[in-house]
Amino acid sequence: LLSFINNLVGQAQIDTGKIILREYPFNVDEVVGPLLSTLNFHANKKGLALIEYIDPALPKRLVGDQFWLRQIVMNLVHNAVKFTEKGSVTVRFIKRDRHFWAIQVIDTGIGIPPEAQRRVFEAFEQVNSAETASQSGFGLGLSIVAKLTSIMNGKIELESEAGKGSAFTVILPLKEEKN
């Protein structure tokens, strides 16, 4: 319920243009570590492994809006856990190149058919199939991720195959803390 309310408030803020990015230096592990601990509880209840990887090439301190970055990670991991019945969910924080870093969430879940891949980023849209019929949700999480990524001057990529899982990659400009 709390996740739904947070997403609904986030969607309203995005739709009204009320999101203000508050960019401050942060350590990736300190920002998402506690969040992943909470999400790991839900993964463990389903017998899933939640794996975290932080690229050693990623700068120790980045600059960004920690609140909205946590929202991106939470929505991606929550979806991955929700639609994965066995296997794992991997969360990777990687340096792409000199100018970009990425948050990548890879699961061994049900996957998304090609014809539905564009729709999953639209508000209140969901993939309708026998595999998703038992899952509750309102179709806000990925819409919020896509819009926040755009506001942060990034882009989102999706690779998925029905029955084999999905990989969502949020690519953001690399802003390092200046000493």
SS3 of 153, please?
coil
Average pLDDT, the chain: 84
CA dist., res. 36 & res. 20, Å (int) = 25
Q: Which of 15-19, 56-60, 127-131 has the lowest mean pLDDT?
A: 127-131
Q: How confident is the model at residue 168 (pLDDT cuts 50, 70, 90)?
A: very high
116, 162 contact by CB (below 8 A): no
Average pLDDT over residues 77-84: 94
CA dist., res. 56 & res. 74, Å (int) = 22
Q: Which of 131, 123, 133, 124 is nearest to 166 (CA)?
A: 131
Average pLDDT over residues 72-78: 93
Looking at residue 160, its pLDDT comes to 95
Looking at residue 13, its pLDDT comes to 60
CA dist., res. 6 & res. 9, Å (int) = 5
104, 158 contact by CB (below 8 A): no
Looking at residue 18, its pLDDT comes to 66
Instruction: Write the pLDDT tens digit of every residue in 29-47.
Output: 988 888 888 889 989 999 9
Looking at residue 170, its pLDDT comes to 98
Residues 6+ apart with CB under 8 A from 135: 82, 83
Which position has the higher pLDDT, 118 or 23? 23
